[in-house]
Amino acid sequence: MPGFAEPLALLLLPLPLFASLAATLLSRARGRAKSAGGYRLPLLAWASGDAAPSASGFRRAARFVSRVSLVFAYAAAVVAAAGPYTVEHRSFWLSRGADVVFVLDVSPSMAARDIEPDRLGAAKALVRSYLEAGRPEAIGVVLFGREAALLAPPSADHEAVAARLEEARPGVLGDGTAVGLGLAVAVRHVHAARGLVDRVVLVTDGENNAGGVAPEDAADLARRYGVELVVVGVGGPGEADIVYSDPETGRTVSGAYASSFDASSLQALAFRAGGAYFPAADSSALERAFDWAAERSAGSAGRRSVERRLDRSRAWLFLVAAFATAAWLLARVANGGAE
Instruction: Give the separation between CA 233 and CA 261, rounded to whole angstroms.
Output: 8
pLDDT of residue 297: 57
CA dist 132 → 173, 178, 294, 295, 318 (Å): 26, 29, 12, 15, 38
Average pLDDT rounded to a whole number, residues 50-69: 72
The yes-or-no verdict on residue 95 having pLDDT over 80 is no
Instruction: Give the separation between CA 126 and CA 262, rounded to whole angstroms.
Output: 23
pLDDT of residue 96: 53
Confidence band of 13 (pLDDT split at 50, 70, 90): confident
Interhelix angle 57-81/15-35, nearest 10 degrees: 130
The yes-or-no verdict on residue 53 having pLDDT over 80 is no
Give domain 95-301's CATH number out of 1.25.40.10, 3.40.50.410, 3.30.559.10, 1.10.2020.10.
3.40.50.410
pLDDT of residue 48: 44
pLDDT of residue 180: 95
Instruction: Give the separation between CA 83 and CA 126, rounded to whole angstroms.
Output: 43
Confidence band of 21 (pLDDT split at 50, 70, 90): confident
Q: Is the peptide bond before 84 cis (omega within 30 degrees of 0)?
A: no
Instruction: Give the separation between CA 1 and CA 86, rounded to whole angstroms.
Output: 5
Confidence band of 34 (pLDDT split at 50, 70, 90): low
Note the pLDDT tens digit of each residue in 271-307. Answer: 999 999 998 888 888 888 888 777 665 544 455 566 7
CA angle 243, 246, 251 (to 5 degrees): 80
Is 257 or 309 the better-scoring residue by pLDDT?
257
Average pLDDT rounded to a whole number, residues 23-51: 58
Instruction: Give the separation between CA 200 and CA 300, rounded to whole angstroms.
Output: 15
pLDDT of residue 93: 46
pLDDT of residue 197: 54
Instruction: Give the separation between CA 308 and CA 91, rounded to whole angstroms.
Output: 11
Note the pLDDT tens digit of each residue in 112-157. Answer: 998 989 999 999 998 998 888 777 778 899 999 999 999 999 888 8
Is 296 or 88 the better-scoring residue by pLDDT?
88
The yes-or-no verdict on residue 8 having pLDDT over 90 is no
- Domain residue extents for the chain: 1-9+55-93+303-339, 95-301
DSSP string, 143-160: EESSSEEEEEEEES-HHH
